[in-house]
Each structure stands twice: as structure tokens, then as C-alpha cells.
């Protein structure tokens, strides 16, 4: 064997070893950069407290009230000036119901029932409905953006008037796009009353 041949073999072995080392370093770097895939989760697993953030509720989410499960059919994203809140329409039989979510400044949740049987329009600082006196809390005008099934245009305007009774019962009037006033009665609910199962 010549000296040149021995040197060539040594250089070849060194080149192979360096190539393997570089390949391993590159593979390790790629493993560190690639995020681990999220573990699959059961969206219907039992839960003992409210799951998810009510501020992130959207159409197709399921709400578990403990003895009843409903789905969000659509949502209204409402705004007045810099203030924003949401109303989420629930799938229910024999009526129209929705959940309102707002921060004023704390998180406030209310469950509402449409009351087409009340032939009323908002007027005055006090209104009496079915023996309960409600006092005016706030009123205003703003805009809405519709998602999913709401029965409204994709965007538009609204007017609202909110009343509250001494016992915490709620009375509200809304009209969309200068239409007729719609009356609703409702009650405040606490976070933790329901569990949110995110939809698709």
C-alpha cells in the first residue's frame, strides 16, 4: 500500500464521520423546532366545572347545563363605541333562547327567553310586566355582526333598552335594522353553571 492510498482512506473515513455528525445535529435541531402534536381529547368527557372561556363561544359549540344539552346555532357580535359583547342563540324546542356574554368590567352572563307574547315597547324609567316592576338600566344604539344562524343580515345596526327588577330579573328590548322592538325576559347566571364543548 502506498502512502497516498492510506491518506485517501483516512480522509474518506474522516469525511464519513463528519457527515454523520452533521446529519445527526441537523436531525436533532429539526426535532426541537417541530412542535409536538396535541394529544387527542374527548369533547364529551365528564367535567365537574365550566370548561372553556364563555367569551370564546361560537356557532357549533355544545353547552351542557347538567340536565340538558344544547347547541349554539349562531352568534351576534355586538358593539357600541369601543364596548363589545355577544349573544349566542341556542337550539331549543318551542321557543327562542340565547345566552349573552359581556364584560362590564367583570364577566356577566345572562340567559334570555324571547317573549313575542308581550306586546310592549320600551317606555319610561319603570315598566311593570306580569306584576314585576323593572327599572331602566341602560339604552343605546350600536352595530352587529352575525355568525351562523341568527335570522339577521351579516351586518347591521341595533337599538337596545335594558331593565332590571329588584330581585335581579331582567327585561330587555332590542330592534335590528330599525325593525320592530322584540321583548325578552332573562336572568343572570354564574360562571360554572354550564360546560362548553367546542364544536368544529
| Category of 81 on φ-ψ map: left (φ > 0), alpha (ψ -120 to 50) or beta | left
Q: Which helix (H) or strand (E) holds 105?
A: none
CA angle, 17 then 22 then 25, to 5°: 125
Using one digit for the tens of pLDDT, what is the confidence trace for 76-110? Answer: 999 999 899 999 999 877 678 999 999 888 899 99
Using one digit for the tens of pLDDT, what is the confidence trace for 140-166? Answer: 999 999 999 999 999 999 999 999 999
Helices and strands of the chain, counted as H and E runs: 1, 11
Phi, psi of 72 (to 5 degrees): -80, 115
Assessment of whether the complete model's pTM goes beyond 0.95:
no
Domain boundaries, the chain: 1-29, 56-197
Amino acid at each position: 500500500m502506498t502512502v497516498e492510498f492510506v491518506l485517501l482512506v483516512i480522509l474518506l473515513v474522516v469525511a464519513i464521520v463528519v457527515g454523520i455528525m452533521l446529519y445527526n445535529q441537523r436531525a436533532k435541531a429539526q426535532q426541537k423546532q417541530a412542535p409536538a402534536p396535541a394529544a387527542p381529547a374527548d369533547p364529551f368527557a365528564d367535567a365537574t366545572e365550566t370548561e372553556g372561556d364563555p367569551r370564546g363561544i361560537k356557532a357549533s359549540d355544545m353547552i351542557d347545563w347538567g340536565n340538558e344539552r344544547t347547541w349554539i346555532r349562531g352568534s351576534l357580535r355586538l358593539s357600541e363605541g369601543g364596548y363589545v359583547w355577544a349573544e349566542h342563540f341556542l337550539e331549543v324546542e318551542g321557543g327562542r333562547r340565547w345566552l349573552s356574554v359581556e364584560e362590564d368590567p367583570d364577566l356577566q352572563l345572562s340567559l334570555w327567553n324571547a317573549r313575542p307574547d308581550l306586546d310592549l315597547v320600551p317606555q319610561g324609567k319603570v315598566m311593570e310586566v306580569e306584576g314585576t316592576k323593572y327599572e331602566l338600566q341602560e339604552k343605546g344604539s350600536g352595530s352587529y355582526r352575525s355568525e351562523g344562524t341568527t335570522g339577521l343580515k351579516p351586518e347591521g345596526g341595533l337599538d337596545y333598552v335594558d331593565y332590571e327588577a329588584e330581585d335581579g330579573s331582567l327585561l330587555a328590548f332590542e330592534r335590528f335594522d330599525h325593525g320592530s322592538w322584540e321583548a325578552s325576559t332573562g336572568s343572570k347566571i354564574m360562571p360554572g353553571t354550564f360546560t362548553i364543548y367546542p364544536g368544529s
